[in-house]
Every structure is written in structure tokens, then in C-alpha cells.
């Protein structure tokens, strides 16, 4: 099947990683893929040279930009896909307009709680969770125009050796909603309780980096925290840890959770939207968001009871393999593409 994947963002958060992984996985499965992305986006280098994948770029100056619509229309007319999947608002808005009159179905992955006015020309929505589907219904999107299909990871499942040195991991953009300030407060609370902190690796970048570094000093944990920057190899990063912490205040899904699950790393996460659907008490320790004391308690419990933590991680790994691996999820998307292509004929 000829499939177009479009993502016009420049960064490389969870949505961009999903776009790259899906494009490459579809090509690996024998589909002819056109991947359209921003010319200076981080996805370009990740996709370049992939067998079975044609890489093209399109620059959007905003949702008002007519030039990018013409560019997208030209690319689609040349490639002639059976279906287009757009990621995030700009791609959904521009691609939907570009296919006008082409009888080409457009689906859009809703990686978060979207402003539906940018999705007027989308035929079908793919929310990652039932909570996102409920949100779309509340915004007036009819249920038949949705298909809930979760995010996935391409990481192979593996369980770590039991004698790995204690290391706490966290990964994400350094922005307020990711809750790194709460994690640093929790680490400070553990230090005040007399807990000896292991190494703490914080992976990511963002506008709050300097503020977070100041908070680490204020809480007295700067000697334990290491700023690991962006990590291109998620498996290698996860394989360094004995505990993964997701302290988000707002988390529509959390692909990084799937990566921790895949590599058998015990998880402490906040009870935000995505983790509530992905995890349960048998697979992770779950705490209220924005509660540094509860987060400190869960971190301490996981570190002080490693056998129980490994049992939860093993259960999470099994859940990952059955529900959130590429082998479990991508066939659902392929079936949906085939269904839409048939209906467009």
C-alpha cells in the first residue's frame, strides 16, 4: 500500500517520535511510504536513508499559509497514496485542505487534546486513549469518526539484570507540565529524610532547564542529578536505570512509559490521563500529580523493595508486548488504512 505520513513540527517530542517510528515501521513491513516533515525538523535525519521510504519536506509559516498547501498537494499528486495520516494541528489543517477533490482519505492521530477547528477536513480521528475519544465527543466529533488505537514503541522487550546499580531515570521536555520541578522537590524530601540518593539522570531539554538546575541546588540534590540531554537511543538510556519516574502534571499518553515498560524498568508515575489508561497497581506505583511527598514515598518504596519493583516491571513488560508493541499496534493501523482505501474507491 502507498501511505503518506505528514508531520510539520520541528521538534522531537513524543508525537514526532511516533511519526518517525510509524513511518519506518510501515516501510519495514513492505509499504511504500511518503514521509513529509519540516526541512529543519529533527525527524529528517532519523528518516533519511530508510528503505522503502520517500522523504519530502514542507515548511509551514502558520495555519494561514497557502504556499504549504500547494506544496503538499503537489507531493500527494505525485506520490498518489491510498491514505494520508497527519500528525498534530498544522499537518492536519494543511493536509486536509490539500486533498480537496482528490477522494483521498485523511486520518489524524490526536496526540493530545486538540483544538478541533484545525481538524475540520479530517475524515477520521485516531485518539490514543479512550479519554481522548471522550474529549473529542465532547467537542462534537461523532463516535463513528474515531478509532481508538494506542501509541506504540518499537523497542524490543528485555528484562534487566537484578544486580544493576540503583539509578533513577526521567525523560521529557523541560516544560512546566512535565513536572520535573515536582520530581526535584521529591528528591529533596528524600534527602531531608536521610535517604541516600542514587544517581538521577534527567534526559531532555527545554526552556526550564536553568530553573530546574536552580531548583536542584535549592533542594540540595545537585550532586545526585545528571543532565543527560536529548537521548537518541531510548533503549540504551532505559537500560541504565533501576527506576523510571514520570512526574507529569498533564500527560495525554506518555510514549516514554512504553519504553520503560519494554526494557523492564520499574515505574513510578502520576495519575494523569495516559498513565491511568496504560498502567495499573500491578505494573507501576501511581501517585497523585503535583504531590512531591507522595512521589517521594513511591520512589522510596520502589528503591527499598527491589524484588516487588521487579515483579511490577515484569508485569508491565508483558502488558507492553501484548498491547503496546509495534507488533500489537501497527496491524491495527494497517487494517484501518485498508478499510479507508476501499471506502474511497
What pLDDT, on the 0 to 100 scale, is given for residue 4? Answer: 98
Q: Contact at 8 Å (CB) between 113 and 94?
A: no
Q: Which residues contact 154 (CB under 8 A, 6 or more apart)?
A: 21, 24, 25, 326
First to last CA, the chain: 14
Q: By C-alpha distance, which of 254, 211, 216, 208 is closest to 234?
A: 254
Q: Is the pLDDT of residue 2 over 80?
A: yes
Helices (H) and strands (E) in the chain, counts: 13, 12
Rounded average pLDDT over 104-130: 94
Query: For the stretch 122-153, what's the b/e string if a residue is b when 16 or more beta carbons lie within 10 angstroms of its beta carbon?
Result: bbbbbbbbebbbebbeeeebeeeebbbbbbbb
Least confident of 134-148, 157-171, 181-195: 157-171
Same fold, 2-152+326-344 and 167-324: yes
Residue 187: its H or E element: helix 180-192
What are the φ/ψ torsions at residue 35 (nearest 5 degrees)? -105, 120
Chain mean pLDDT for the chain = 95
Rounded average pLDDT over 200-206: 95
% helix, strand, coil for the chain, step of 5: 45, 15, 35
What pLDDT, on the 0 to 100 scale, is given for residue 15? Answer: 86
Q: Go through the chain and tell me how many residues it has.
A: 345
Neighbours of 341 (CB within 10 A): 17
In whole angstroms, give the CA distance from residue 205 to residue 131: 28
What pLDDT, on the 0 to 100 scale, is given for residue 162? Answer: 83
How is the chain split into domains, by residue range?
2-152+326-344, 167-324
* Residue 178: all three cell numbers together: 512535565
In whole angstroms, give the CA distance from residue 340 to residue 345: 9
Rounded average pLDDT over 294-303: 98
Looking at the DSSP bridge assignments, the partners of residue 85 are 5, 107
High-pLDDT (> 90) share of the chain, % = 89
Rounded average pLDDT over 10-29: 90
Residue 246: its H or E element: strand 243-246
Torsion angle, alpha carbons of 251, 252, 253, 255, to 10: -60
| pLDDT confidence bin for 133, thresholds 50/70/90 | very high
What pLDDT, on the 0 to 100 scale, is given for residue 9? Answer: 85
Please give the CATH architecture assigned to the domain spanning 167-324.
3-Layer(aba) Sandwich (3.40)
CATH top class, domain 2-152+326-344: alpha beta
In whole angstroms, give the CA distance from residue 167 to residue 303: 9
Contacts from 331-339 at CB under 8 Å and sequence distance 24+? 332/149, 333/22, 333/26, 333/85, 333/126, 333/149, 334/1, 334/26, 334/29, 334/31, 336/107, 336/124, 336/126, 336/147, 336/149, 337/1, 337/3, 337/82, 337/83, 337/85, 337/107, 338/1
Q: By C-alpha distance, which of 66, 52, 65 is closest to 5?
A: 52
Q: By C-alpha distance, which of 32, 87, 29 is closest to 58?
A: 87
Amino acid at each position: 500500500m502507498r501511505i503518506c505520513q505528514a508531520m510539520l513540527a520541528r521538534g522531537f517530542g513524543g508525537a514526532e517520535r511516533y511519526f518517525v517510528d510509524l513511518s519506518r515501521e510501515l516501510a519495514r513491513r513492505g509499504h511504500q511510504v511518503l514521509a513529509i516533515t519540516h526541512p529543519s525538523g529533527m525527524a529528517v535525519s532519523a528518516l533519511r536513508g530508510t528503505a522503502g521510504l520517500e522523504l519530502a519536506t514542507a515548511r509551514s509559516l502558520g495555519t494561514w499559509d497557502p504556499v504549504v498547501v500547494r506544496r503538499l498537494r503537489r507531493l500527494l499528486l505525485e506520490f498518489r497514496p491510498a491514505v494520508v495520516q497527519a500528525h498534530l494541528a498544522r499537518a492536519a489543517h494543511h493536509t486536509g485542505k490539500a486533498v480537496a477533490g482528490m477522494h483521498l482519505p485523511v486520518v489524524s492521530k490526536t496526540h493530545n487534546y486538540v483544538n478541533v477547528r484545525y481538524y475540520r477536513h479530517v475524515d477520521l480521528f485516531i485518539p490514543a486513549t479512550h479519554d481522548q475519544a471522550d474529549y473529542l465527543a465532547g467537542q462534537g466529533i461523532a463516535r463513528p469518526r474515531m478509532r481508538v488505537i494506542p501509541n506504540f514503541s518499537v523497542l524490543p522487550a528485555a528484562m534487566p539484570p537484578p544486580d544493576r546499580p540503583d539509578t533513577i531515570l526521567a525523560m521529557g521536555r523541560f516544560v512546566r507540565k512535565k513536572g520535573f520541578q515536582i520530581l526535584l522537590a521529591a528528591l529533596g524530601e528524600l534527602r531531608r529524610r536521610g535517604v541516600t540518593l542514587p544517581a538521577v539522570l534527567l534526559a531532555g531539554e527545554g526552556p526550564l532547564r536553568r530553573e530546574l538546575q536552580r531548583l536542584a541546588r535549592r533542594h540540595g540534590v545537585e550532586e545526585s542529578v545528571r543532565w543527560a540531554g536529548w537521548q537518541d537511543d531510548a533503549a540504551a538510556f532505559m537500560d541504565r536505570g533501576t527506576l523510571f519516574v514520570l512526574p507529569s502534571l498533564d500527560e495525554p499518553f506518555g510514549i516514554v512509559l512504553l519504553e520503560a515498560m519494554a526494557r523492564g524498568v520499574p515505574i513510578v508515575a502520576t495519575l494523569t490521563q495516559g498513565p491511568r489508561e496504560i498502567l495499573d497497581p500491578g505494573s507501576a506505583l501511581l501517585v497523585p500529580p503535583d504531590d512531591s511527598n507522595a512521589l517521594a514515598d513511591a520512589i522510596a518504596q520502589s528503591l527499598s523493595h527491589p524484588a516487588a519493583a521487579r515483579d511490577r516491571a515484569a508485569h508491565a513488560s508483558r502488558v507492553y508486548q501484548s498491547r503496546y508493541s509495534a507488533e500489537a499496534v501497527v496491524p491495527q493501523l494497517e487494517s484501518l488504512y485498508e478499510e479507508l482505501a476501499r471506502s474511497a474507491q
